[in-house]
Amino acid sequence: MDRLSAVLKLTRIEHSIMLVIAVLTAEIISGGIPMLPVMVLSLITPIFISMGSFSINDYFDIEVDRKNRKNRPLVTGDITPNGALWITVVCMVVGVAASALINVYCFAIALFFASFSLLYSYRLKEMLVMGNAYIAFSMSIPFIFGAYVVNAQLPPVAAMLFMIIFISGFAREVHGSIRDYRGDRLRKANTLPKAIGIKASAWAAMLLYLAAISMSIYVYMSYAPFYHNAVYAVMVFVTNMLLAYSGIVFIASRKQKDYDRMRNVSLAAMLIALVAFLLSALVGIPAPSLAS
Please report the pLDDT score of residue 62 as a whole number: 77
Please report the pLDDT score of residue 290 as a whole number: 45
Contacts of 122 (CB under 8 A, 6+ apart): 60
Please report the pLDDT score of residue 289 as a whole number: 46
Please report the pLDDT score of residue 1 as a whole number: 58
Please report the pLDDT score of residue 189 as a whole number: 67
- Residue range 140-184, pLDDT digits in tens: 999 999 999 999 999 999 999 999 999 999 999 999 888 877 666
Q: Which fold has domain 1-153?
A: Tetracycline Repressor; domain 2 (1.10.357)
Please report the pLDDT score of residue 68 as a whole number: 65
Please report the pLDDT score of residue 95 as a whole number: 97
Please report the pLDDT score of residue 206 as a whole number: 96
Please report the pLDDT score of residue 38 as a whole number: 95
Categorize the per-residue pLDDT at 135 as very low, low, confident or very high, splitting at 50, 70 and 90: confident
Spatial contact of 61 and 83, defined as CB atoms under 8 Å apart:
no
CA atoms within 13 A on the CB side of 68: 20
Please report the pLDDT score of residue 284 as a whole number: 60
Greater pLDDT, 62 or 281: 281
Greater pLDDT, 67 or 132: 132
- Residue range 44-102, pLDDT digits in tens: 999 999 999 999 988 887 777 777 667 788 888 888 889 889 999 999 999 999 999 99
- Amino acid present at 30: S
Which stretches of 106-199 are assigned E, i.e. beta strand? none
Please report the pLDDT score of residue 81 as a whole number: 86
Domain regions of the chain by residue span: 1-153, 155-287
Q: Which fold has domain 155-287?
A: Four Helix Bundle (Hemerythrin (Met), subunit A) (1.20.120)
Query: Measured between alpha carbons, how far is residue 54 from residues 72, 73, 74, 148, 268 in Å?
Result: 11, 12, 12, 24, 19
List, as one string, the DSSP characters of 20-73.
Answer: HHHHHHHHHHHT----HHHHHHHHHHHHHHHHHHHHHHHHHTHHHHHHH-TTSH
Rounded to an integer, what distance in angstroms lies between the CA atom of residue 220 and that of residue 160? 11
Residue-averaged pLDDT of the chain: 88
Is pLDDT at 280 greater than 50 in this prediction? yes
Please report the pLDDT score of residue 248 as a whole number: 95
- Residue range 217-253, pLDDT digits in tens: 999 999 989 999 999 999 999 999 999 999 999 999 8
